[in-house]
Amino acid sequence: MSWIVSLPCTRAEAEALSGEIPALDAAPEAPVVVTREIDEDAGTWQLDAYMDDAPGDDLLRLIQSLAPSAKGIAPTVAELPEEDWVTLSQQGLEPVRAGRFFVHTSSYADRVPPGATSFLIDASQAFGTGGHDTTAGCLAMLDRLARAGAAPRNIADIGTGTGLLAFAAMALWPRARVIASDIDPASIFVTRDNAAINDVPLGRGGGRLALAVAPGTDHPAIRHRAPYDLVIANILAGPLITLAPDIAAATAPGGRAILAGLIARQMDPVLAAYRAHGFRLSARGGSAEWPCLLLTKRRRYGYRRKERALHRASPSDASFGSW
């Protein structure tokens, strides 16, 4: 049998739980936490925590601490029948259409629109099913880049989660070399499983996906493959700012970075960190609350610079912003 603990929460609390939850990660047997909107008109949300065994008092207090707005409300604790808790937790996950991409769970495998590039990503312990605005924004930005004529040959997905964004990049640029990394080993296991489900070949050469467990870009394989034409980092604002010098060092002059996982009010400090390391903002996508940023690393020309201009910028470069 398995168990579910449910509590009402606010939208802000639900969004705060969309990334890593250190307090839960430190628990001996961490439950899987899913948040969902119960009533769009009323703006009511709910936190559901799934676990294998009946929760003790300490775990109940920990789960209650994730939703301060529910202080004084006793959580609902229920025993679930013998069903796959992953399937239960993903029942509310609707398919996502972002650009040419259609991301769905097993429940919608027979509803793929004609002509769409589809990925089957079931709920798991890793972030990135496509349902969150940050992931959908990155998918749309990748599609936008491809439609503008971009053709990166060397790509890194930092903080890959389920592997979805790396898979999308490989679908757009099938000859590119792509590496996906995550600080959480569980995410890399999930990515490996998802790669098999979606017929994504693993390996080191062009058209294959290499995997690495790494904090940020700190891995020999990531450093060896640098510099990258495209770096994707859908993580959180704090790590994005911390990683700015490392991502800048790993990005080729003229290369691009897609950054997401930040909320609107965090955009300015994130941009400031990357502008200090030679990036400019080329485009903004995503939603109003969860922006997705496309940055371009400035080329360095002239005397005592590492490179000189060999040609003028193409119209497609100009369409993605100005200096």
Binding residues: 135, 159, 182, 234
**What is the pLDDT averaged over residues 258-280?**
95
Please give the average per-residue pLDDT across 153-178, as a whole number: 96
- How high does pLDDT run on average in the chain? 83
**pLDDT surpasses 70 at 36:** yes
Token duo for residue 102: 């259609």
- Which residues are known binding-site members for S-adenosyl-L-methionine? 135, 159, 182, 234
In the chain, what are the domains? 2-86 (3.30.70.260), 142-318 (3.40.50.150)
Calpha distance 182→321 (Å, rounded):
30
Let me know how many helices (H) and strands (E) the chain has, helices first. Answer: 12, 14
Higher-pLDDT residue of 208 and 312 is 208
Task: Please indicate whether residue 36 or residue 199 has the higher confidence score (pLDDT).
Answer: 199
The predicted model scores a pTM of: 0.68
The residue ranges of DSSP E strands in 152-288, in sequence order, are 154-158, 177-182, 209-213, 228-234, 251-260, 279-286
CA dist 247 → 152, 158, 214, 308 (Å) = 16, 9, 13, 22
pLDDT at 304 over 60: no
8 Å CB contact between 107 and 80: no
